[in-house]
Amino acid sequence: MNSHINKYILPVLIPWVCVLVILDALTKYYALYYLQQKITIIPNILSLVYAQNTGIAFSIPLEWILLKIVTLALIFWIFYYYWKYESHKDNTLLHFSFALIFAWALWNAWERIFIGYVTDFISLQWFAIFNLADSFISLWALWLAYYYWKYTP
């Protein structure tokens, strides 16, 4: 196994990924059992509301079987790309980014495949209802886009 994988992912990244996935699971549990009505945080902008997302990211609708195929294909592609092109690099933040994106994608996929929906609860009035995993995946993906734009030829 790659020395960078041994050095970063096993002792450092896996515990952080586990903590953050547990945080996502706890917020979804809270939304399911305690978010009985809409809670307005910033009027006409941000609120908390329980929703069952049967679509893909940010509630984009897809047929059931296509949804599962797309979900698994995206997760496979993320893992394959990381393993083939990025795992050898000596960049902790890069490894951390891929580990988090992969973990949250797996967690959402697990919900989507075995429960039939993903629990969402953060609502932006003119956008969508999403969860912590969605927002963190988006933030880390933006960071990766910046990284590639800034540091790759």
* Residues carrying an active site annotation: 120, 134
Long-range contacts (CB closer than 8 Å, 24 or more residues apart) made by 60-68 = 67/112, 68/112, 68/113
Residue 55 CB-density burial (10 A; 0-12 exposed, 13-18 middle, 19+ buried)? middle
Edge-to-edge strands, sheet with 46-53:
39-42, 46-53, 118-124, 129-130
Beta strand segments in the chain, E: 39-42, 46-53, 118-124, 129-130
